[in-house]
Amino acid sequence: MQNTAIAIILDEHRSLAAVLHGLRHLVREMREHGRPPDFRLLGAMLYYLDAFSEKLHNPKESLYLFARLKQRCSEADEVVAELEKQHQESSQLGRDLDHALARLEAGVPDGLELFSAAVERLLPEAWQHMATEEKVLLPLARKHLTEGDWAEIAAAFGENGDPRFGAKPDHEFRDLFSRIVNLAPPPIGVGPER
Ligand SMILES: [Fe+2]
Ligand SMILES: [Fe+2]
């Protein structure tokens, strides 16, 4: 179960990273090549980051992985505290990003600059956060969590997830991710060139 749980978490990180990379690419295209903003695509990406990362991935990590690891080893206290703080901060960064997109869509003159700044603030935080989870937290978890803990984590992150987070969320997010890939132009996705 350990490998199953870890594979799901790494896979979720890869999906999030793909959307973040795509977002940065689109912003650079808009700033450097004057590409007009595709609000449908940008909206879908921001919705994905909020609904998948903020409302599902992060809370599951906190509730299952971090909480269990804190019970099993005090060595993890410091890194768990740091990651929990980053989960809180990333909610604010997400709200800033939504706000900046609304300004861009409203045609505020500095809208693109503000949106671009919000994206550039979020990205390094997100990379660093995922890297700390993968390089520091997961190795500690591998060492200290029990087979029962891993079964519980795998179930929470698995297909039917935790009912507290809604019915069949994984299907919905896979569909949403495919929609983003279908809307996004190459090299991010397979959508139409614009
Ligand atoms: Fe996290
Ligand atoms: Fe994570």
Q: What is the CATH number of the domain that holds 28?
A: 1.20.120.520
Domain membership of residue 188 (yes or no) is no
C-beta separation of 153 from 159 below 8 A: no
In a domain, residue 117? The reply is: yes
What 8-state DSSP symbol labels residue 146? -
Burial of 62 (0-12, 13-18, 19+ CB in 10 A): middle
Say which residue, 2 or 104, is predicted with more confidence: 104
Instruction: Please report whether residue 32 resides in a domain.
Output: yes
Q: What is the pLDDT of residue 52?
A: 87
Instruction: Using the mean position of ligand 1's atoms as its centre, give its distance from the Cα of residue 192 in Å.
Output: 33
Q: What is the pTM of this model?
A: 0.90
Ligand 2 midpoint to CA 160 (Å) = 19
pLDDT of residue 162: 62
The CA 179 to ligand 1 mean position distance, Å, reads 24
CA dist., res. 188 & res. 92, Å (int): 26
**Ligand 2: centre distance to CA 26 (Å):** 23
Per residue in 110-161, pLDDT (tens digit) is 999 999 999 999 999 999 999 999 999 999 999 999 999 999 999 998 876 6
Residue 192 lies in a domain: no
Cis-peptide into 59, omega within 30 deg: no
Å from CA of 129 to ligand 1 middle:
6
The size of the chain, in residues, is: 194
What's the CA-to-centroid distance between 131 and ligand 2, angstroms? 9
Q: Name which of 46, 8, 41, 9 is nearest 133 in CA terms.
A: 9
Report which DSSP code applies to 107: T
Q: 108 C-alpha vs ligand 1 centroid, how far in Å?
A: 33
Angle in degrees, 0-180, between the axes of helices 111-132 and 2-33, rounded to the nearest 10:
160
Q: How far apart are the C-alpha atoms of 136 and 66, rounded to whole Å?
A: 12
Quote the ligand 2 centre to 61 CA distance (angstroms). Answer: 7
Position 191 in a domain: no
- Do residues 24 and 119 lie in contact, with contact meaning Cβ atoms separated by under 8 Å? yes
* 40: containing domain: 2-183
The per-residue pLDDT of the chain, averaged, comes to 90
* pLDDT given for residue 69 in this prediction: 97
User: Is 82 inside a domain boundary?
Assistant: yes
- Token digits of residue 179: 């929609």
- The ligand minimizing its distance to the Cα of 9 is 2
Residues with a beta carbon under 5 angstroms from ion ligand 1? 58, 61
Q: Look at the block and give the residue holding tokens 């520091």.
A: 136
* Gyration radius of the chain over CA positions: 18
Residue 168 has pLDDT above 60, yes or no: no
Rounded-to-integer distance, Cα 13 and Cα 10, Å:
5
Counting the structural domains of the chain, the total is 1
- Residue 91 Cα to ligand 2 midpoint, Å, equals 13
Which ligand places an atom closest to the C-alpha of 17? 2
